[in-house]
Amino acid sequence: MSPDTPFDKTLMALDALHAEDPRRVEVEGESLPLELWHAGRMSAWLERVVEAPDELVQIAVRSQHMQRWQMARNEYPEGRVGYLTWRRDQGKRAGETAARAMEASGYSSEDAERVAQMIRKQGLGRDEGTQAVEDCACLVFLENYFGDFSKQVEHDHLIRIVQKTWGKMSPRARELALELPMTDEARALVEEALAG
């Protein structure tokens, strides 16, 4: 069955791009493109974070990591400035790619730009769509990457990262984060960060 709405066409186009990721992840005995799996986790969290997200929010959340493998972190300088520059450039690229897919599928340029703004995280803390993108990104990180990440980062720096992540999340996302299964070590780090 071929998609017949701009929304369906856009999601199909985005997932085709996600599926190009050469990196793989094993999920229940199946090898999937990492970015396609990540996009699915983002969408799954959105269902829990926002009661009835509109199409544009769903597209923005699904596109947040768009073709991230094409712009490696190690192409940027080490340290915070390099990381923030890389992340900004990733958001800009992802927003542009999602906007092109949307317009090709029949969305207006205004709708496409709205999604690009959410992906770039413009209006964080003030814009509900941008907040939904950030909440889902934080929850996917805490659910899937935090355990391994916490073993690679110096303790005090890790505490600051958790505190900053927490500060960017909505009350609903914080609630969901506290329900996540975590190792004893990861939970202790989160508790220490939140107590500080």
Is there a domain that residue 115 lies in? yes
Please, which pLDDT band fits residue 1 given cuts at 50, 70 and 90? very low
Is there a domain that residue 13 lies in? yes
Is there a domain that residue 58 lies in? yes
What's this model's pTM, rounded to 2 decimal places? 0.91
Q: Residue by residue, what is the 3-state secondary structure of the chain?
A: CCCCCHHHHHHHHHHHHHCCCCCEEEECCEEEEHHHHHHHHHHHHHHHHCCCCCHHHHHHHHHCCCCHHHCCHHHCCCHHHHHHHHHHHHHHHHHHHHHHHHHHCCCCHHHHHHHHHHHCCCCCCCCHHHHHHHHHHHHHHHHHHHHHHHCCCCHHHHHHHHHHHHHHCCHHHHHHHHCCCCCHHHHHHHHHHHHC
∠138-49-11 over CA atoms, to 5°? 85
| Count of domains forming the chain | 1
pLDDT in tens, 112-163: 999 999 999 999 989 999 999 999 999 999 898 887 887 888 888 889 988 9
Is there a domain that residue 32 lies in? yes
The pLDDT value recorded for residue 80 is 86
Is there a domain that residue 1 lies in? no
In sequence order, what are the residues at sequence separation of 6 or more whose Cβ sits closer than 8 angstroms to the Cβ of residue 35? 18, 19, 21, 23, 65, 66, 67, 68, 69
Please, which pLDDT band fits residue 2 given cuts at 50, 70 and 90? low
pLDDT in tens, 92-117: 999 999 999 999 999 999 999 999 99
Range of the domain at 103: 6-195
Is there a domain that residue 134 lies in? yes
pLDDT in tens, 21-80: 999 999 999 999 999 999 999 999 999 999 999 999 999 999 999 999 999 999 999 988
Q: CA dist 151 to 70, 103, 146, 154, Å?
A: 26, 42, 9, 8
Query: Dihedral, CA atoms, 99, 104, 110, 113, nearest 10 degrees?
Result: 10
pLDDT in tens, 167-196: 999 999 999 999 998 888 888 888 898 887
Is there a domain that residue 67 lies in? yes
